[in-house]
Amino acid sequence: MWFWVLRWVLLGPVVRWYTRPRVLGLSHVPASGPVVVAANHRAEIDSLVLSLVLPRQPRFLAKAEYYAGAGLRGHVERWLCSVTGQIPVDRAGGSAASASLRAAEGLLRSGGVWAIYPEGTRSPDGRLHRGHTGVVRVARAVPDAVVLPVGLLGTEAVDPPERDRRERRRWRRGRVTVVIGPAVDVRQGEVREATDALMRAIGELTGQQPLDEYVPRRAA
């Protein structure tokens, strides 16, 4: 319930005013059944935009830090992640990350919508980096899951990276375009090959040429 209150009453109208979203390809989203939404990631506001424009509620892998923050901001982030059903992930990798992927698999098996950024984190330079294979491995574990490539355009202008916030540390009004492509068959070939094919499909929607390198890890 809280998700829809946030979307239509509390937060959604604000996001819509700033982003003025244009959505293409909504017909590719099935009305029911398991769906993987795989998108590029250019700004922190991306998840809010996807939650606003998709016809069904998406759930994301949220970094575990959002559940452990202190102070008012920490409480707000923890509450938002909890009421919207986000899945915590330990970005240090290992068994914690595997547990998050198992949770995503459970979400799909229940017929939910899992939204994922295959790059693993925001692109630091606006380029489309190499995708991690977790999205394909999870999708292959749920035979009837539909995998949709999604391109987000313009979110970095609304919510600029920290290095560009020298004068204004807040959102700027802009125009965001969300392009949803037709389903990609990720069950053919090796997992790495299927992941690369998915990234190429995302790149075709954004006009980006996928790189053969991962997003560099940020220093702690």
Q: Are strands 87-89 and 113-116 parallel, antiparallel or unpaired?
A: unpaired
11-45: per-residue pLDDT in tens? 889 999 999 999 999 999 999 999 999 999 999 89
Structure tokens, 103: 């949770």
CA distances from 80 to 5, 6, 7, 48 (A): 12, 9, 12, 11
pTM of full prediction above 0.85: yes
Among 54-58, 97-101, 204-208, the least confident range:
97-101
The amino acid at residue 190 is E
- 2 SS3 class: helix
Q: Are strands 87-89 and 22-24 parallel, antiparallel or unpaired?
A: unpaired
pLDDT at 86: 79
Task: Please tell us whether the domain made up of 2-59+111-206 is placed in CATH 3.40.1130.10.
Answer: yes
Find residue 146's DSSP bridge partners.
Answer: 35
pLDDT at 220: 39
Find residue 29's DSSP bridge partners.
Answer: none
- 78 SS3 class: helix
121-180: per-residue pLDDT in tens? 899 999 999 999 999 999 999 999 999 999 999 999 999 986 544 555 689 999 999 999
Residue 207 DSSP label: T
Distance separating alpha carbons of residues 94 and 88, to the nearest angstrom: 14
58-95: per-residue pLDDT in tens? 998 876 666 666 676 666 776 776 767 677 766 565 56
